[in-house]
Amino acid sequence: MQESINLWPLLGVAVIAAGFILRFNPMLVVAAAAVVTGLAAAMPVPQILAAIGTGFIKTRALPLIILLPLAVIGLLERHGLREHAQEWIARIQSATVGRLLIVYLLARELTASVGLTSLGGHPQMVRPMLAPMAEGAAENRYGEISDEVRYKIRAYCASADNVGVFFGEDIFVAFGAIALMHTFLLGSGIDIAPLHIAVWGIPTAICAFLIHSARLLRFDRWLEREVRAGAEAAARGVSSQPTTATE
């Protein structure tokens, strides 16, 4: 008979979700989640504190790893990275927002599938380069765009990055989620090689690419209708203004 699995330690996930929803301090939320998880797993308090301290010592260089790329990106932005990205994409007459994001989605999935997840990301790629390029493609094709359209373009840029890395990294055999699934299946009496788990992530990644590419092409059509409707509304507003007679 298989032993029952203790699911109470998953309360830590609920603590993290609730803390972020309520917008509490992230460090406090993570620390509280660690304590709740340890208590739910019947760990003694000294062992919980020792585990937290060990984790802190191992990751104390993490702020440098996070802040250094942000400083470099900020310096590049100050010297015109966004402007150069917009000018470069404006030279490609056939570029649209959807086509650009499909290319990025494919590149993001392929690089994540071989473990290169750090090549993209919101702070180092989406905000300084991808979003300005997408906005430049829209302005080059439709002219001035509204803030609502601009924010929607940025949201789709973020979604392309999220979908690409989320489904692409599941193909990489050394990814942590593959090891987690392998361990969980072993605990349930199912012995499957990690390579097989990674291989069966390929159909899911392909489906995710096709589905999100269709959404991006549909967004191109929505963008064209939205800009045309805005232009027609502006034209009607100008034509409906009363003209003053000159003496």
pLDDT digits (tens, 9 = 90+) for 11-41: 888 898 898 888 888 778 888 888 998 888 8
Residues 173, 80 within the same domain: yes
Residues 160, 93 within the same domain: yes
Looking at residue 186, what is its pLDDT?
80
Residues 104, 224 within the same domain: yes
Residues 90, 54 within the same domain: no
Tell me: pLDDT of 245 over 50.
no
Q: Does the pTM of the predicted model rise above 0.75?
A: no
Number of Cβ within 10 Å of residue 164's Cβ equals 27
What angle (nearest 5°) sits at the alpha carbon of residue 230, between those of residues 93 and 138?
25
Q: Is residue 236 part of a domain?
A: no
Residues 51, 121 within the same domain: no
Residues 112, 205 within the same domain: yes
Q: Which residues, other chains included, contact 158 with Cβ-Cβ below 8 Å and sequence gap of 6+?
A: 122, 126
Residues 85, 54 within the same domain: no
Residues 210, 120 within the same domain: yes
Mean pLDDT of the chain: 80
Give the span between the Cα atoms of 109 and 148, in whole angstroms.
28
Q: Is residue 245 part of a domain?
A: no
Q: Is residue 240 part of a domain?
A: no
Residues 139, 47 within the same domain: no
Q: What percent of the chain lies above the pLDDT cut of 70?
A: 76
Instruction: List the domain range (segments joined by +) for residue 30.
Output: 8-59
Which whole number is the average pLDDT over 61-89?
Answer: 59
Q: Which residues, other chains included, contact 87 with Cβ-Cβ below 8 Å and sequence gap of 6+?
A: 136
Looking at residue 136, what is its pLDDT?
85
Q: Is residue 186 part of a domain?
A: yes
Residues 130, 174 within the same domain: yes
Residues 19, 124 within the same domain: no
Q: Is residue 36 part of a domain?
A: yes
More confident residue, 187 or 66: 187
Q: How far does Cα 232 stand from its chain's mean position? A: 35
Lowest mean pLDDT, pick from 139-143, 144-148, 226-230: 226-230
Looking at residue 123, what is its pLDDT?
79
- DSSP for 49-96, please give it: HHHHHHHHHHTTTHHHHHHHHHHHHHHHHHTTHHHHHHHHHHT-TT--
Q: What would you report as the CA-atom Rg of the chain, rounded to the nearest whole angstrom?
A: 24
Residues 133, 197 within the same domain: yes
Confidence of residue 225 (pLDDT cuts 50, 70, 90): confident
Q: Is residue 237 part of a domain?
A: no
Residue-wise pLDDT for 85-94, tens only, equals: 666 666 666 7
Confidence of residue 45 (pLDDT cuts 50, 70, 90): confident
Residue 43, classed as helix, strand or coil, is: coil
Q: Is residue 68 part of a domain?
A: no
Q: Is residue 67 part of a domain?
A: no
How many structural domains comprise the chain? 2
